A and B are shown apart, each in its own frame.
Chain A
Amino acid sequence: MHRFHSISVVASLFVFWLVLSGYFTPFLMSAGLASSVLVVWFAHRMSVIDREGHPLELRGGVLSYWPWLIVEIVKSAWTVSKIIMHPRLPISPTMLRVKMTQTSSVGQVMYANSITLTPGTISVAIEGDEILVHALTQAGADDLAGGEMDRRVSTCEVRA
């Protein structure tokens, strides 16, 4: 499994190099592959490579979570845009604490980043197993407190 993880890091780096460089001649491609392998080897020797930096086990869960997240982002961006253009600016800012049920730090980062990415809510601080969130409206705060996003991130983590 460990070896498979390293090979997967090399493959990702090589694809990244190919897309950014756009060179497809044999010499340059093998040079790119060699540098990907060297980078991963050096990273191993320096112990700066770990499962958190390249969370391979999340690949299945993320594919079902991202589409849902994108729909949520579009919906809440539309809501925030309507509030901005409303003549009376109907905001009711609140601070609230939401509980995280994720066990790994990758899962917690995913949840906190999803909260921030959704317009109308920002994760301000992490305190133990709770996130301090600032919400633009009371309705947005209630939505988040309902915990659907938390459940979905946890499912995505458990499926690994």
Chain B
Amino acid sequence: MSAAIDILSMILMSVGGVFCVIGAIGVLRMPGFYTRMHAASVIDTLGASLIIVGLLLQSGFTLASGKLLILWLLIFFCSPTASHSLANAAHRRGVIPWQSDQGAKSSSKN
């Protein structure tokens, strides 16, 4: 039974890691400021959640699990707040969203 839980948690954590790498690739590939932020949000939602669920399976019913749940809640409340203030600051500062017909000029600027 514990071997099955180990394997399941390993799978979850590996898949979470894969999504973190996909998010990082997205940050590099996307053009412009706002589109890069979309790629980064894959990391802190799906990537982080899968890794935390994998760790929860490892820790079982202990205090460490409680701390992991608090960490997960913290990520889910703070990361959208931080993303919003970043996007809002860019909007106020007049960062022009990248458009596909604009070509390479604006993507190098942002």
Do A and B make up one complex? yes
Binding site for B on A (CB under 8 A): 16, 19-20, 22, 73-74, 77-78, 80-81, 84-85, 89, 91-93, 95, 112-114, 116-125, 132, 134, 136
Q: Closest residue to A131 on the B side, CB-wise?
A: B84
CA distance A19 to B71 in the complex (A): 12
Of B42, B45, B84, the contact of A123 (CB 8 Å cutoff): B84
B26 interface residue, CB < 8 Å from A?
Answer: yes
Chain B residues packing against A (C-beta within 8 Å): 19, 22-23, 25-26, 29-30, 32, 34-35, 37-39, 41-42, 45-46, 63, 66-67, 70, 76-77, 79-81, 83-84, 87-88, 90-92, 97-100
CB distance from A153 to the nearest CB of B (A): 13
User: Once bound together, how far apart are the Cα atoms of A143 and B92, in whole Å?
Assistant: 26
Say which residue of B26, B37, B42, B91 sits within 8 Å of A125 (CB atoms): B91
Smallest distance from the beta carbon of A81 to chain B beta carbons, Å? 5
Instruction: Quote the shortest CB–CB distance from B13 to chain A (angstroms).
Output: 16
Interchain CB contact under 8 A, B84 and A112: yes
Taking CB as reference atom, which chain A residue is nearest B34?
A: A134
Q: Are B66 and A19 in contact (CB under 8 A)?
A: yes
Most buried by B among A16, A19, A85, A92: A19
Query: Are B45 and A16 in contact, with the CB atoms below 8 A?
Result: no
- Distance from A92 Cβ to chain B, minimum over Cβ atoms (Å): 6
Chain B residue with the shortest CB-CB distance to A16 = B70
